[in-house]
A and B are shown apart, each in its own frame.
Chain A
Amino acid sequence: MIAELGHYALMLALGLALIQGSMPIIGARNNDPVLMSMATPVAVAQFAFVAMSFAALAVCYVTSDFSVLNVYENSNSAMPLLYRLTSVWGNHEGSMMLWVSILALFGALVAGFGNNLPPRLKANALAVQAWIAAAFELFILTTSNPFLRVADAPFEGRDLNPVLQDPGLAFHPPLLYLGYVGFSIAFSFAIAALIEGRIDAAWARWVRPWVLGAWMCLTLGIAGGSYWAYYELGWGGFWFWDPVENASLMPWLAGTALLHSAVVMEKRGALKVWTILLAILAFSLSLIGTFLVRSGVLTSVHAFATDPRRGIFILAILVAFIGGALALYAWRAPLLKQGGLFAPISREGALVLNNLFLTCACATVFVGTLYPLALEALTGEKISVGPPFFNLTFGPLFLPLFLTMPFGPLLGWKRGDLLGATQRLLAAAMLAAVAIAAGFALQHGGPVLAPFGVGLAVFVMAGALIDLAERTLFLRIPLGAALRRAVGLPRSAWGTAFAHFGMGVTLMGIIAVTAWGSERIAALRPGGSIDIAHYRLTFDGLFNRSGPNYRDLVAHFTVRRTNGDLIGTMEPSRRTFPTRNMATTEAALMTRGVSQLYLSLGDPNPDGSVPVRLYFKPQVLMIWLGALIMFIGGALSLSDRRLRVGAPRPARMRAALQAAE
């Protein structure tokens, strides 16, 4: 009954989405305030029905209703409650439900909080949002229905894929989707602006909080996924340049560019046409990511061809939305007035440079991800594009980005003082030089470039701190006064500094772990030991342990310093899931400061020895810590009063806006 209710609610939501997608637009064309104002309640109602449908599916999962095919295939009554709940989106149908739910949620949020929006813009934007919702709701109902029943209900489900039975599943997909789908707001606003043929700096002010929120979630989602892969997959890699990862990185790159160009548009009224294009691209890349992952085109073009129903449906959505949006852009963008002049050396100039590098990096990832598919489809030739390609092309594009990053916030709007900025960054450059020298002094036999990388990371971090110091006049006025200035500083300035600092932290972690990480591979018998960095691990023996729906073969290790001090124990295991007859490696991690010891286990050999892989990962936690700092930066910026939705604008700004219109 509950499954049928969910199914029905989803159909009603589709109906509401169709109303929301048509009536407000007609109203906006004919200047009919009643039709336009329909958008708000219908968007909220659409969300209510989608949420009801999602809740129905969740109830089926939590109560282990195996008469529902989707639940039977992906759940098991022995799983803990958390995994029974998270397995809702641990499969194709359920994850599409999550996608649509988040989309409807965003629509409802715009409807609820957008009281200060011009009615025409709001009506058009919500209508565009509804087109996307309708397309995906139709996709679920016709090709990926999660509410189908099994004729004879089985007693037990087939269990969730063991790799996914992890707390990571609770956070990673929802965060990622909040990011992906969050860009749909920017997309809808861009299309609405194009339909109207009018855009001003206020547009950027309305859109930026949504972009910022989406960017924050995507940052955390990508970082969380990276950490999950790091500890789950058993060899301690943090980024694989897998097409699926690239699918999430591309919207992040475009979104980061959008975030920066929207600042220029908001503050200076420049880069309007470009910002609109980026808003379209960021969400288009999210759609392409959805297509890549959902259609099965990634395994091979042939896998796509054997069961093309879903793939073709998403491809049609893709072509309609991206093609339509770009066509509309080509038609209407020339109507938009350009404004806000600036000198090449200025904060605007720096942000344009940022956009150049970010979009080129995005294009690189795009071509690297799709080229093999296109080549195989066109000529039948099979090539692989893997990490060596991306490291070679992506790296050089990010290098100048990091180098110029500290300059941006120090340059003035309109016309900047490069010499002055350079002088102020001298301290950062000196710190970087010290770091490079220290790197060379301390490194024995690592890569020559590594100390330079560390220097770059130090430069970025110190640059962010100098920006703050400059704004608070730190060390130039008494400390108390500087602190008062710090409190009074706009939160968005803190946000910038945090985000840039976090980027430096991540860079530092990546360089340290790639250059100075070490690895030991050995087959150990009980009593045997291996040394790594300045630690010694002794293998004490194997024992069995059982969990709710799995069995563990655990190896017990004692960790000591090389001088004999006891530090602790590590217990990596091999985990077997009887329902699916599959095994996973549960690596053991020991955190020392921001570095980690990483130990994973192979299958025991017949002679009683156990193959182990042991890694020392220096400063590895900085990679994800940096992302967390970026997230905090985003949150600080989002809490800025000036950005808050509905916050009254200062009179000067209002006058400027009117003049712009």
Chain B
Amino acid sequence: MKAVRKLRPHFSSAILFVGLFFLLLTSLPLHAVEPSELLSDTALEARARALSRELRCMVCQNESIDDSAAPLAHDLRVLVRERVKAGDSDAQILDFLVARYGEFVLLRPRLAWHTALLWGLPPAALLLGAVAIVIVIVRRQRITASEEMANLTPAEEGRLSDLLREER
């Protein structure tokens, strides 16, 4: 175990260059949540697990503290469970952690000015795309309608009305 931890920085830089598109998770696949950490109250434990999934293990690459085996993740899990047991609300716990570790700890960034583009882009893209499609369709229908009108000569119009009459 000790040797493994010592080697982790080397491991992380090595694997980065390996470029395997899925195995880029820095911590070694040890155990994340340990049996001794679990709270006996299942409702509180479920809340703690849900919160853990929203929190980043800050020394790992893109891992929640729920998935990570790093010692820091362990400490954070214990901390979250302590606050849950003490009766803090989810929001209070998150605020507490942000105050201590910065916004980096949240895997779901808060909506604010500096994240407006991040949160705004998906709905904006959808909206703009939809508007663009509607505009193109409307414009093209108008163009074709006027073209078709213009293209018929009087003789053709006569034939068309004859044909329509026959149809009846």
Contact = CB atoms under 8 A, between A and B. Distances in A.
A99 B20 CA distance: 13
Contacts of A163: 15, 23, 29
A386 B31 contact: no
B143 to A, nearest CB: 9
B78 interface: no
Interface in B1-31: 1, 3-4, 7, 11-25, 28-31
B19 A364 contact: no
B64 A383 contact: no
B34 A602 contact: yes
B107 A384 contact: yes
A299 B61 contact: yes
A92 B61 contact: no
Interface string A383-401: 1111111001100010000
A389 B18 contact: no
Interface residues of B, number: 60
B135 interface: no
Contact of A522 (B4, B12, B35, B126): B35
Contacts of A371: 115, 117-118
B107 A364 contact: no
B33 A242 contact: no
Interface in A403-448: none
A433 to B, nearest CB: 28
Contacts, number: 199
Given A360-B129, A581-B4, A233 B19 contact: no
Given A95-B18, A382-B102, A611-B35, A582 B28 contact: yes
Contacts of A262: none
B61 A385 contact: no
Interface string A4-18: 000000000000000
B100 interface: no
Given A296-B16, A341-B144, A387 B64 contact: yes
Interface residues of A, number: 74
Nearest to A169: B20
A584 B109 contact: no
A388 B107 contact: yes
Contacts of A161: 11, 14-15, 18
B104 interface: yes
B24 A242 contact: yes
A298 B118 contact: no
A293 B125 CA distance: 26
Interface of A: 90-92, 95, 161, 163-164, 169, 172-173, 176, 222, 225-226, 228-229, 232-235, 237, 240-245, 247-248, 293-294, 296, 298-299, 341, 344, 352, 356-357, 359-360, 363-364, 367-368, 371, 375, 379, 381-389, 392-393, 397, 521-523, 580-585, 600, 602-603, 611, 613
11 contacts: A164-B23, A222-B21, A229-B22, A232-B23, A240-B25, A242-B61, A243-B24, A244-B22, A364-B125, A383-B103, A397-B122
Interface of B: 1, 3-4, 7, 11-25, 28-36, 38, 53-54, 56, 61-64, 67, 102-109, 114-115, 117-119, 121-122, 125-126, 129-130, 133, 137, 140, 144
